[in-house]
Structure formats: C-alpha cells, structure tokens
Amino acid sequence: MPTLSNAELHPSLFHYLVVTAGYWAFTITDGAIRMLVVLYFHLLGYSPFEVAMLFLFYEFFGIVTNLVGGWLGARIGLNLTMHIGMGLQVLALLALTVPDPWLTVPYVMAAQALSGIAKDLNKMSAKASVKYLSSGGEGKLFKWVAILTGSKNALKGAGFFIGAALLESVGFRGALALLAGMLAMVLIVTALLLPSAVGKMKSKPKFTQVFSKVPAINRLAAARFFLFGSRDVWFVVGLPVFLYEVLGWSFSQVGGFLALWVIGYGLVQANAPRLIRKGHHGHGPGGDTARLWAFVLLLFPAGIALGLQQGWPAQWVLIVGLILFGIVFAINSAVHSYLILAYSDHERVSMNVGFYYMANAGGRLAGTVLSGWAYQAQGLEGCLWWSATFVLATALLSFGLPQIDEGHNQPDTQKG
C-alpha cells in the first residue's frame, strides 16, 4: 500500500484545521441565536409552545437541506456549500434586527428557516469533508470526526453563554449585528484558504441517488432520528423555561449553565476515541458499541424523571442528571458520527452524510415540537419520559448495525 509523505499530509491537515475553524465560528452564532430567540421571545410573553413553534421551520428546513445539500455538495463541491451556508446565516442574523412590531411569529419562523438551511449546509459540508481530508485508517478517521464534532458542540455551548450575555449587555439587536459581522469576516477568510473541489463527484449524481439503499445506513439514520429527538424533547424549551420560571434562575444563569453543559458534552465527544478505545485495537467502534451505549443512555432521562417525581431537590437532580446524561449522550453521538463515514465510500460520502443528517434534523424537529407541547401539558417530567422512550427506540434500532472491517468490506457498496 502506498504511503503519504509528510509534505503530502500537511495540506490535508491544514485544510482540516481551516474547515474546523470555520465550523467553530458558525457554531458560536448558531448557539447564540438559539439562546437569544428562546429568552427574548419568552420575555416578550410567548408561551413555551409558541417559542417551540419559532424553531419549527428551522428544523423542518434542516431536513430538506440535508437531503438536497448532500446531492448539491457532490455536484458543486463541499467548500462552496459550506460558504453558502455561512452567507445565509449572516442574512438570518440580520433579518432579526428589525423593530419588535415586525417580529411576528411567521416572520421569525421564516428567519429561523433561513438559519436552519444555513446550519445544515455548513454542518453537512464540514463533516463530509473530513472523509476526504483524513488518511491513516478508521482509527484516525474516528479521532478526526470526534475532534471536529466535539469541539463544535463545546463552542455551541459557548454560543449559548455568549447569546445570553450579549442579550443583557448590548441587547437583542446589538447581539445579532455583532454575530453577523464576525461570521462575515470568517466567511471571507475561509473561502480564500480552502480548495474548491473537495467532495465533488466526477460524474453528476442524480437526485434520486440521495436516498440510500444500504440497510446499515438506513438503520443508523433511523437510530440518529430518535437519539437527537431524545435530547431536544426536553432540552430545547422545557429545560430553559423550567430553570427560569420554576427555579428562578436569571437569563445569564440559564445561558451559562446550558453553555457549560454543552461545552462539557463537546469535550467528552472530542475525547470519545480515548474513552471507548478498549477492545478496538486501533479500529473504530462498530454496531455493538452503538447498541451498548444507547442502553446505558436510557438510564438517565428515566432516572431524572423518577427523581423529580419523588420530590428530590429539583436543582440537584437536574444538575447531576444533566452531567451524566451529557457524558453518555456525547459518546453515543460520537459513535454515530463516525459510523456514517465508516459505512460510506469516498464517492458517495456527501450524499450519505446528507441523508443521515436529514434524519438527525427530523429527530430535532420532532423533539423541538414535542418539547413545547409536552412541557405545557405534562411538565418537565413528561418531557423526560418522552426522552426515555426515544432512547429506547434508538437502542432497539441499533440491533443489526454491522461491525467495521478495517480497509475493506464497507457496508456502502451501492453503485449508481
């Protein structure tokens, strides 16, 4: 097998770092805008369900974007789709700087739709690029994916805190303008540094090819749907509103706590290869690992719900429970993010990643809508029992996910 020299490895590592830096900058704005919208519109008198509805198009258009974006990336290149996403996010931020009378529910939903398209174009492009830029086997691929995804989530947590802090310091519109200016500068710099042909297929794929015919990818996508639904069904609306209304926390305390949680979650995700490396012998994890950690995750939303129902101190139940849930959820997410790349060949990776993150966005949509309704109708305990149900579905769907055979016998043998 031919080996790459250090001179050949250096450009790949440099481009990987540029992609990661661009993804970081985008993620800060994504976390900040979510916290700004949740807190500001709750302050304006919106009910929990109405706040959840503001994110309806954000998640719905994420589904559409991942489906179309993977196909588009294969045709025009992942660098271009990533920067289209950045540009749309700048527009989405600026769209919310209008006066309060303009901020009707349909208008904000439309702005959030633009942000959802931007986020998933950027995420799909960055993660699919890793498959092209990495070399050195499945163990290295797992490490690079984990670092990219984990660091992104840590910075999304920072974005929560930045959003809450900017809301108190410079106001809603000042915060949005600052974030838009920062991201516009990053867009220009990364567009100049990255090659244009990453991920571009030699032949123009048909749109129908975005739907995978590979059982392993379809099963993983379904598991991903329920995994992320299990988080967002209590994390998006129920938890921040509960902390603010029931426990009496300030905006900065809510934003800071959720920021620290997501930062910790991201750090665990980035270190997942070291945390679960026992038994892999330098290879990436397989389907049995995904199944094991899904069943472990099931213990935590159910345990938190039981603790609250038993009348234990809500603040400590949530703090301890969230820490444990975040650690195990991060490992689940890191394993999934690796498996979709490991199950894909180089030629179809952008379309497979787009299909997979379409399912991810679908789960977030279901969780977001259910979070607002369940909190309003059943309280935070109801949100947590829904979360446990979703995790159980993830664990059951993980049965049948194949192992990874280093260097050959990839599940994705689809041609077309």
Per-residue pLDDT of 36-92, as tens digits, reads 888 888 788 887 777 777 877 887 887 778 777 766 766 677 777 888 889 999 999
Identify the pLDDT of residue 184: 93
Condensed to tens digits (0 to 9), the pLDDT of residues 262-312 reads: 788 778 877 777 777 654 445 667 888 899 999 999 999 999 999 999 989
> What is the CATH T-level fold of the domain 6-397, as seen in this structure?
Growth Hormone; Chain: A; (1.20.1250)
* Coil/strand/helix, residue 396: helix
Identify the pLDDT of residue 3: 41
Query: Which of 229, 232, 240, 241 minimizes the C-alpha distance to 47?
Result: 241
| Cβ neighbours around 14 below 10 Å, total | 13
- Judged by average pLDDT, the poorest of 178-187, 224-233, 273-282, 320-329 is 273-282
Task: Please report, rounded to a whole number, the percentage of residues in the chain having pLDDT higher than 90.
Answer: 19
Domain ranges of the chain: 6-397
Query: Which of 355, 299, 361 minimizes the C-alpha distance to 325?
Result: 299
13, pLDDT greater than 60 = yes
Highest mean pLDDT among 301-310, 336-345, 370-379: 301-310
On average, the pLDDT of the chain sits at 79
Instruction: Tell me how far apart the alpha carbons of residues 239 and 235 are, in angstroms, rounded to a whole number.
Output: 5
The residues near 252 (Cβ < 8 Å, ≥ 6 apart) are 164, 165, 168
If you average pLDDT over residues 215-244, what whole number do you get?
88
Selected residue with higher pLDDT from 148 and 288? 288
> Does the global pTM surpass 0.75?
no
Query: Which of 82, 269, 116 minimizes the C-alpha distance to 190?
Result: 82
Task: Please report, rounded to a whole number, the percentage of residues in the chain having pLDDT higher than 70.
Answer: 80
Instruction: Tell me how far apart the alpha carbons of residues 156 and 48 are, in angstroms, rounded to a whole number.
Output: 22
347, pLDDT greater than 70 = no
Which uninterrupted H or E stretch holds 361? helix 349-397
Our separate counts of H helices and E strands in the chain read: 14, 0
333, pLDDT greater than 80 = yes
Confidence of residue 359 (pLDDT cuts 50, 70, 90): confident
Residue 347 token pair: 């030629």
Selected residue with higher pLDDT from 120 and 308? 308
2, pLDDT greater than 50 = no
Instruction: Tell me how far apart the alpha carbons of residues 395 and 393 are, in angstroms, rounded to a whole number.
Output: 5
